[in-house]
């Protein structure tokens, strides 16, 4: 599936034209790109001003302005993360883990300005070196339309439901 295939449900004139099923298809496409380690195409789903956050387990509503975050990436840091994960320098992820991103309970809540707010539950399974890890939580997205009317991610936040990360459960993959 290509980005063009996702845009085939559009182009959308505005976000009010976007149905939940089309948002689900977009999120499933994102998950597939991550599971197939197609990170260069995955990062193309983001806007130029995008943010990607994972708060610490003890401050789920934490703000990067005054709380410690596991991940607080703008587009420059996210691009650097993708470059590193695609190289042999990412020793924890070379060869790549096998992952399975499962998305469920997709909800469209409201629009903020030009963004569509979306929530979803997730489970990400990671298999590496005969061990398995799982990450369970909730996604919060703000989706925008690009100039061609295709959906793009302006903001993604992965809030983990787990109370701690220990042993093989480190976050070395993109949730």
- Structural domain count, the chain: 1
Q: Smallest Cα–Cα separation from 101: which of 121, 73, 84?
A: 121
Q: Identify the residue whose tokens are 């020793």.
A: 91
Which domain CATH number covers 159? 3.10.450.50
What is the residue range of 27's domain?
3-169
In order of 9, 17, 89, 125, 159, the CA distances from 5 in angstroms are 8, 17, 33, 26, 29
Rounded Cα–Cα distance for residues 111 and 71 (Å)? 25
Most confident of 4-8, 99-103, 168-172: 99-103
What is the model's pTM? 0.87
Q: Does 39 fall in a domain?
A: yes
Mean pLDDT along residues 12-34: 91
Q: Does 101 fall in a domain?
A: yes
Q: Does 175 fall in a domain?
A: no
Q: What is the pLDDT of residue 7?
A: 47
Mean pLDDT along residues 20-29: 94
Q: Does 61 fall in a domain?
A: yes
Q: Does 22 fall in a domain?
A: yes
Q: Does 131 fall in a domain?
A: yes
Contact 137, 159 (CB under 8 A): yes
């Amino acid at each position: 599936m290509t980005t063009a295939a996702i845009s085939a449900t559009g182009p959308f004139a505005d976000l009010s034209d976007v149905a939940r099923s089309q948002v689900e298809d977009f999120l499933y496409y994102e998950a597939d790109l991550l599971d197939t380690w197609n990170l260069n195409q995955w990062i193309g789903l983001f806007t130029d001003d995008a943010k990607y956050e994972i708060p610490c387990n003890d401050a789920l509503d934490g703000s990067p302005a005054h709380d410690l975050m596991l991940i607080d990436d703008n587009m420059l840091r996210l691009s650097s993360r993708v470059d590193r994960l695609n190289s042999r320098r990412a020793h924890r992820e070379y060869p790549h883990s096998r992952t399975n991103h499962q998305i469920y309970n997709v909800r469209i809540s409201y629009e903020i300005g030009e963004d569509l707010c979306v929530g979803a539950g997730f489970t990400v399974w990671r298999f590496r070196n005969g061990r398995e890890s799982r990450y369970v939580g909730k996604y919060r997205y703000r989706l925008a339309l690009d100039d061609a009317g295709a959906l793009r991610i302006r903001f993604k936040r992965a809030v983990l439901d787990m109370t701690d990360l220990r042993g093989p459960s480190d976050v070395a993959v993109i949730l």
